[in-house]
Amino acid sequence: MPKSLISIQDFTKEEILHILDVAEEFEKNKSQTFLSDKVIACIFFEPSTRTRLSFETASNRLGARVIGFSDAANTSVRKGESLKDTIKMVSNYADLIVMRHPIEGSARYASEVASVPVINAGDGANQHPTQTLLDLYTIRQTQGRLDKIDINMVGDLKYGRTVHSLLQAMSHFSPTFTFTSPQELMMPKEYKEFLDEKGIPYKETSDLTQHLDTTDILYMTRIQQERFTDPMEYDKVKNVYSLNSSMLANVKPNMKILHPLPRLQEIAEDVDDTPHAYYFKQAENGMYVRMAIISYLLGKR
Amino acid sequence: METTEKQLKVSAIKNGTVLDHIPSGELFRVIEILGLSHSTTPVTFGVNLDSKSMGTKGIIKISERFFRDDELNTIALIAPNTSVNIIRNFEVVEKKILTIPETVTGIAKCANPMCITNHQDVKTKFRTITKNGKTRLLCHYCEKTTECKNLKIVTYSL
């Protein structure tokens, strides 16, 4: 089975650091067309703007050609084709598969069926490892290091897959965590147990302002409507946090705000012009990191 | 005598496997795990039988069947204290102690409704995690855990 990237836990600390170093190389030199003999399939069974465009751009900048679809509605999946059959077929056409799918565990399964590497571009509420790697890249870029960072995660810590994967990945680097969330969306017990086992300290609060001034990285997330089965539950919490520029008066000068985007009202637009806003640059970094991951899995870096 | 009375309740077998000291509430799930509803040899069982140590218990006797250790060990997920006796010519020739398996393939159902194994024809696969005497199953695919006390058995169509 070729090496795939399905869960952030699939990569060792050394592999993570290698990817970040390669991504740095691509940020300096954006177009390196050494994959001009490769075809990359981007198959998206669920809508996405940023992730799909950044994967397609990353592939193009490496010289590869891209096939795929952005919506399963116009494919044989609608006729009832199994995921296995779709993956078998695409494996025969392409050298690497980038897949997003709403069902959890679908990416792991695809990697077992495929004869080429698979990159998980999000499998429902489970994993989104390329987001995690670009978050790590951005943290290192803004702080000059990954070790001993104070990270404050805000918003939906219960369903938010990006915060879960980031927590697992950062556990290699002796961080300190603050979890800011409403009661209904607190960090699940299994992740807190994971931190306890590793001896990593964390604080929990429902007040966004409480730990802002000691934070190095403020990791904001959207309350995701699509993860709620009960619309009443969503209405209760959807507007719970709203960061605006007046709240940033006493934060550390190196403090940067990250957000996996799309953002709603959780970050007011007046924050965009402060030196702490970094979420658009973070999205740009996604392209370099995805170039690095593709090159690594195809054995070119 | 008490022992004679018990043997009258679930009659003795000549050759086969006897599973004793099953918690009464778990008896039917043990039957499911071992797929005994498809058995072609005689199976007798009793439930809510008096037990000195457990209050009540269940017992299953399967004639002419001898299971592999990995088949028996899956019982440990829901009834770890089950005693397993191998019977030959009406005598107990071997007693087995169950150990919780490290991995479980294709028996348990993943409790996550959004897991791929509940949507497509994918055999389930778990790693077991035992902590404070409680066993949970970590799904190889969706990475969510299923508590063994809520365990549902995958039923195969024959």
On whether both B49 and B14 belong to a single domain, the answer is: yes
Rounded to whole angstroms, how far apart are CA atoms B99 and B18? 17
Do B91 and B107 fall into the same domain? Answer: no
Per-residue model confidence (pLDDT) at position A61: 97
pLDDT band at B158 (very low <50, low <70, confident <90, very high): very low
The answer on pLDDT for B156 being more than 60 is: no
What confidence score (pLDDT) does residue B8 get? 56
* Interface confidence (ipTM) of the complex: 0.89
| Interchain contact B116–A (C-beta under 8 A) | yes
Question: Based on the domain organization, do B128 and B75 belong to the same domain?
Answer: no
Q: Does a structural domain hold residue B108?
A: yes
Residue B157 has pLDDT above 50, yes or no: no
Query: Residue B107 gets which letter from DSSP?
Result: S
Of B116, B140, B144, the CB nearest to A106: B116
Q: Which domains does chain A have, with CATH numbers?
A: 8-129+286-297 (3.40.50.1370), 130-283 (3.40.50.1370)
Has residue B158 been placed in a domain? no
For position B150, what pLDDT does the model report?
81
Predicted local confidence at residue B83, as pLDDT: 95
How many independent structural domains does chain B possess? Answer: 2
Task: Give the whole-angstrom CA distance, residue B11 versus residue B4.
Answer: 10
Domain ranges, residue B138: 103-153
Among candidate residues A297, A6, A4, the one with its CA nearest the CA of residue A124: A6
B116: which chain A residues are within 8 Å (Cβ-Cβ)?
Answer: 83, 103-106, 108-109
Look at residue A67 in the predicted model and tell me its pLDDT: 97
Rounded mean pLDDT, B110-133 = 94
In a 3-state reduction of DSSP, which class is residue A97? strand
Residues in chain B, total: 158
What is the per-residue pLDDT across B40-49, written as a single tens digit (0 to 9) for each?
Answer: 999 999 999 9
| A79 among known catalytic residues | yes
Q: Do B115 and A84 touch (CB under 8 A)?
A: no
Q: How far is CA B132 from CA B122, B129, B135, in A?
A: 31, 10, 8
DSSP string, B1-51: -HHHHHHHHS---SSEEEEEEE-GGGHHHHHHHTTGGG-SS-EEEEEEEEE
- In whole angstroms, give the CA distance from residue A107 to residue B110: 16
Mean pLDDT of B38-58: 93
**Tens-of-pLDDT digits for all 301 residues of chain A?**
899 999 999 999 999 999 999 999 999 999 899 999 999 999 999 888 889 999 999 999 999 999 999 988 877 787 889 999 999 999 999 999 999 999 999 999 999 999 999 999 999 989 999 999 999 999 999 999 999 999 999 999 998 889 999 999 999 999 999 999 999 899 998 899 999 999 999 999 999 999 999 999 999 999 888 777 788 888 888 888 999 999 999 999 999 999 999 899 999 999 999 999 999 999 999 999 999 999 999 999 9
Same domain, B6 and B56: yes
**pLDDT the model gives residue A294:** 98
Q: Examine the pLDDT at B29 and tell me if it is beyond 70.
A: yes
Q: Flag whether residue A124 sits within 8 Å of chain B, measured between CB atoms.
A: yes
Report the amino acid identity of residue B78. Answer: I
DSSP secondary structure letters along A165-176: HHHHHHGGG--E
Domain shared by B84 and B19, yes or no: yes
Tell me if A82 and B144 make a contact (CB, 8 A cut-off).
no
- Catalytic residue flag (residue A140): no
Q: How far is residue B14's CA from residue B91's CA, in Å, rounded to a whole number?
A: 8
* pLDDT tens track for B59-94: 999 999 999 999 999 999 999 999 999 999 999 999
Domain CATH number, residue B122: 2.30.30.20
Q: Is the pLDDT of residue B1 over 50?
A: no
C-alpha to C-alpha distance for A71 and A225, rounded to whole angstroms: 20
A9 vs chain B: nearest CA distance in angstroms? Answer: 11
Q: Using the predicted structure, report yes or no on whether residue B10 has a pLDDT greater than 80.
A: no
Considering the domain architecture, whether residues B107 and B92 belong to the same structural domain is answered as no
Instruction: With respect to residue B90, please indicate whether it lies within any of the assigned structural domains.
Output: yes
Q: Largest alpha-carbon pair distance within chain B?
A: 54
Tokens 């709403």 appear where? A102
Domain identity same for B90 and B109: no
Structure tokens at B29: 């799930």
Output the CA–CA distances (angstroms, integers) from residue A30 to A129, A279, A287, in the order listed: 22, 20, 9
